[in-house]
């Protein structure tokens, strides 16, 4: 479990193909980010397990399903990623509950600079919009954000300067893709409503 409050960023070093997936190597760019072997880490919103915690790199295995359902399989050396260690008992919950299980890949349709902020309009896969609500929470590449508005399958978020500085969101461009995870509560409430119907 994560909060969507990014603890650091990293840079892709390489992706090494394997028979049933790839091995992803990341160099953390923040000196204090050192998860241990076997630790869960959110990488652009995807929960991965550290299989090799080197002194200047982290190595993760990517399954074929992770490559198919997220943007991680398309990352190239030099690309930036958002990093967050798993939530521990007693940690502050300043964002919202994020599981690290991506619901879909969204495409950026609008990128607009508004003074020192960035406005994004992101199109979601068909059906995912039912779990998104104005003023609700959503994780975009692992970052906990508030939905400003929803128009059809496009939701809008406003990214403040602090978030631009501390994450990779400022690098996103129109027509780019991002990992999306809707609010856990929305998913469970929808399931309960469905089971309650006659």
| Residues 20-34 pLDDT 10s | 667 899 999 988 899
Q: Give the model's confidence band at 64: pLDDT under 50 very low, under 70 low, under 90 confident, else very high.
A: confident
85 in Cβ contact with 35 (< 8 Å): yes
133-157 mean pLDDT = 97
135 in Cβ contact with 37 (< 8 Å): no
62-87 mean pLDDT = 93
Q: Look at residue 92 and tell me whether its pLDDT is greater than 90.
A: no
pTM of the entire predicted model: 0.92
What span, in angstroms and rounded, lies between the C-alpha atoms of 147 and 114?
A: 16
Fold classified for 8-85? Elongation Factor Tu (Ef-tu); domain 3 (2.40.30)
48 in Cβ contact with 41 (< 8 Å): yes
84 in Cβ contact with 142 (< 8 Å): yes
Q: Look at residue 78 and tell me whether its pLDDT is greater than 60.
A: yes
What span, in angstroms and rounded, lies between the C-alpha atoms of 85 and 73?
A: 21
One of 2.40.30.20, 3.30.40.10, 1.10.1660.10, 3.40.50.720 is the CATH number of 104-196, namely 2.40.30.20
Q: Give per-residue pLDDT as tens, 166-198.
A: 999 999 999 999 999 999 887 777 777 765 544
41-51 mean pLDDT = 97
Would you state the pLDDT for residue 197? 47
Q: Give the model's confidence band at 94: pLDDT under 50 very low, under 70 low, under 90 confident, else very high.
A: confident
Would you state the pLDDT for residue 43? 98
55-72 mean pLDDT = 91
What span, in angstroms and rounded, lies between the C-alpha atoms of 153 and 127?
A: 8
111-139 mean pLDDT = 96
> Which tokens is 148 given?
């400003």
Same fold, 8-85 and 104-196: yes
Tell me the pLDDT of the chain averaged across its residues. Answer: 91
Domain boundaries of the chain, sorted by first residue? 8-85, 104-196
154-164 mean pLDDT = 97
């Amino acid at each position: 479990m994560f909060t969507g409050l990014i603890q650091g960023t990293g840079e892709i070093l390489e992706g090494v193909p394997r028979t049933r997936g790839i091995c992803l190597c990341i160099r953390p760019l923040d000196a204090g980010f050192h998860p241990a072997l076997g630790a869960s880490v959110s990488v652009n919103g995807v929960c991965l397990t550290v299989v090799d915690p080197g002194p200047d790199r982290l190595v993760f295995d990517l399954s074929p399903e992770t490559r198919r359902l997220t943007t991680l399989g398309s990352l190239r050396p030099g690309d930036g990623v958002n990093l967050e260690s798993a939530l521990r008992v007693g940690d502050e919950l300043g964002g919202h509950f994020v599981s690290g299980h991506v619901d879909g890949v969204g495409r950026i349709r609008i990128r607009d600079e508004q003074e020192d902020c960035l406005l994004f309009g992101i199109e979601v896969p068909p059906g995912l919009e039912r779990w998104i609500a104005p003023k609700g929470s959503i994780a975009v590449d692992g970052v906990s954000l508030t939905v400003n508005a929803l128009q059809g399958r496009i939701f809008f978020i406003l990214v403040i300067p602090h978030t631009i500085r501390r994450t990779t969101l400022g690098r996103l461009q129109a027509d780019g893709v991002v990992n999306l995870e809707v609010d856990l509560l929305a998913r469970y409430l929808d399931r309960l409503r469905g089971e309650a119907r006659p």
